[in-house]
Amino acid sequence: MSNSIPHDLAAESSLLGAMLLSPSAALIGVESCIVEDFYSPPNAVVFGAIQRLVGRGASVDAITVSAEMGSPDSINKLISLTLDVPNQSYAADYAKIVVTHSASRKLMRHFGESIELVQTGADPYLLAEGTEKFVTTIGAVRNTEPESLTIQELAMRADDLAPVVIPGMMHQDYRTIVVAEEGAGKSLMLRTIAMSAAQGFHPFSHQEIKPIRALVVDLENPAQAILQTAEPFDKHLQMRNPSGYDSERFRVWRQPGGIEIRRLADRAELQREIAFHRPDLVCIGPIYKMYRRGANESYEDSADEAMGVLDDLRMKYGFALVLEHHAAKGRAGEKRDLTPMGSQRWMAWPEIGISLYKEASDPTVLNVKRYRGDRLTGVNWPDRIVRDKAWLLDGVWTPAKDLTE
């Protein structure tokens, strides 16, 4: 490079030469780069002409490109590009070099402008939020191989794409929302599910399963309220599997005042915990303390944005998600319908929507219903959940099912 600005004129020329010689190289180039990726303005003009021709399905060579450029005098330059290209089959490699240098230049410009704005008193939090959005636009060369799958290929790769997290309950790409009335023990349930699975036990049948990594994001409970049940249960799990127990597989992140995951600072803190622990399962609750609806916002708009953050994190880090939610208030004199409070989006969003109804004759027994039909088959949550002294929760299935299958 002749100066400190990242670029590689040889890579740019080699890519253009390969695109002029080979239809497959031309396709790779237009799928990998944009005009702005080229440091040399003349090279950018050539690329733009090739890009338009490919877009129309027209042939690409020195003659057609010079005509597209409206510059007959450019034919000799275009021919020289084809003569100088080292190997036209390396178009993807040339494109990667071009895009990488382009990303470096974009970062330099962005952070240079940000530094100037900070020095003039700009809001650093707004700048940070803008930087986060900007960084997501910086990426490597797009994959030119097709990603679509046949049904047979999808079936063969299903377990790799979304491994089982808890047999009969969830795979890695499942979203589950648990709804119950106040005091039904939703927080206890989510924590018990995570702690059991982390040490290799099914949370309701107590059969041995493959241990997972689990993170509980508790947005409501004081430390002592958590320890009252979690500490004895942790000792029970250690006794049940002393050689396989690993305390590092389960973590709790407490934010009893709640968070606002739509705000950059809070979202970054949540992402920090997930990135550090790399969980297979994340349990968060309650939803109403995960984000706050603005004064002029609809329930749907605020929920949509919160769901978007959660989906982005799920896709980036690959975990199953279980959320705790409160039920909507019932009408006086009518039986309370245990569906999610607030936005109706929470009704349709998850793959599995669980409602927990207290047994009328015994409030320690919960009947497991669905507030919406399961989007997936083979989901075997218990029909009833009862309190257990050692395991905290015990599942009852009717008829009994083997959850290790």
**In percent, how much of the chain has pLDDT > 90?**
61
Distance separating alpha carbons of residues 242 and 198, to the nearest angstrom: 14
Q: What residue type is assigned to position 81 of the chain? A: L
For residue 282, what pLDDT is reported?
98
For residue 142, what pLDDT is reported?
57
The tens digit of pLDDT for each residue in 207-239 reads 999 999 999 999 999 999 999 999 999 999 999
What is the full DSSP assignment across 23-74? HHHHHHHHHH--GGG-SSHHHHHHHHHHHHHHHHT---SHHHHHHHHT-GGG
Tokens of 379: 């989901």
- Say if residue 405's pLDDT is above 50: no
Which helix (H) or strand (E) is 109 found in, with range?
A: helix 91-119
Contact present, 239 and 201 (Cβ < 8 Å): no
For residue 127, what pLDDT is reported?
83
The tens digit of pLDDT for each residue in 45-69 reads 999 999 999 888 889 999 999 999 9
Domain locations in the chain as residue ranges: 9-135, 158-396
Distance separating alpha carbons of residues 169 and 178, to the nearest angstrom: 12
3-class state of residue 90 by DSSP: helix
Rounded average pLDDT over 292-308:
89
Task: Output DSSP code: residue 289.
Answer: G
User: How large is the greatest C-alpha to C-alpha distance in the chain, in angstroms?
Assistant: 92
* Selection from 191, 135, 195, 194 nearest residue 170 by Cα: 194
Rounded average pLDDT over 154-182:
90
Fold of 9-135: DNAb Helicase; Chain A (1.10.860)
The tens digit of pLDDT for each residue in 192-202 reads 999 999 999 99
Distance separating alpha carbons of residues 282 and 205, to the nearest angstrom: 20
* Selection from 183, 167, 127 nearest residue 324 by Cα: 183
Tokens of 130: 């803008």
For residue 45, what pLDDT is reported?
96
For residue 280, what pLDDT is reported?
96
Tokens of 253: 């992140």
For residue 3, what pLDDT is reported?
56
C-alpha dist (Å) from residue 172 to 252, 275, 351 = 19, 16, 12
Q: What residue type is assigned to position 228 of the chain? A: Q
Task: Output DSSP code: residue 139.
Answer: -
- Say if residue 299's pLDDT is above 90: no
C-alpha dist (Å) from residue 222 to 183, 232, 241, 254, 290 = 15, 17, 28, 8, 16
For residue 382, what pLDDT is reported?
95
For residue 375, what pLDDT is reported?
84
What is the full DSSP assignment across 309-366? HHHHHHHHH--EEEEEEEBPPPPTTSPPP--BSS-THHHHSSSEEEEEEE-SS-TTEE
Contact present, 20 and 62 (Cβ < 8 Å): yes
Contact present, 207 and 401 (Cβ < 8 Å): no
In degrees and rounded to multiples of 5, residue 379 shows phi and psi of -90, 115
For residue 146, what pLDDT is reported?
65
Measured from the Cβ of residue 376, the count of other Cβ atoms closer than 10 Å reads 12
For residue 139, what pLDDT is reported?
60
Which residues lie below 8 Å from residue 2, measured CB to CB, with a gap of 6+? none
Confidence of residue 242 (pLDDT cuts 50, 70, 90): very high
* Rounded (5°) CA angle 6-74-76: 95
Regarding predicted confidence, which is higher, 213 or 136?
213
Regarding predicted confidence, which is higher, 161 or 179?
179
Lowest-confidence range among 61-65, 91-95, 120-124, 280-284?
120-124
For residue 181, what pLDDT is reported?
81
Output the average pLDDT for the chain: 89
For domain 158-396, is the CATH number 3.40.50.300? yes
For residue 2, what pLDDT is reported?
45
For the chain, counts of helices (H) and of strands (E): 13, 11
- Say if residue 336's pLDDT is above 80: no
Q: What residue type is assigned to position 146 of the chain? A: P
Regarding predicted confidence, which is higher, 207 or 141?
207
Regarding predicted confidence, which is higher, 210 or 73?
210
* Selection from 150, 171, 152, 214 nearest residue 375 by Cα: 171
Which residues lie below 8 Å from residue 258, measured CB to CB, with a gap of 6+? 219, 220, 289, 290, 292
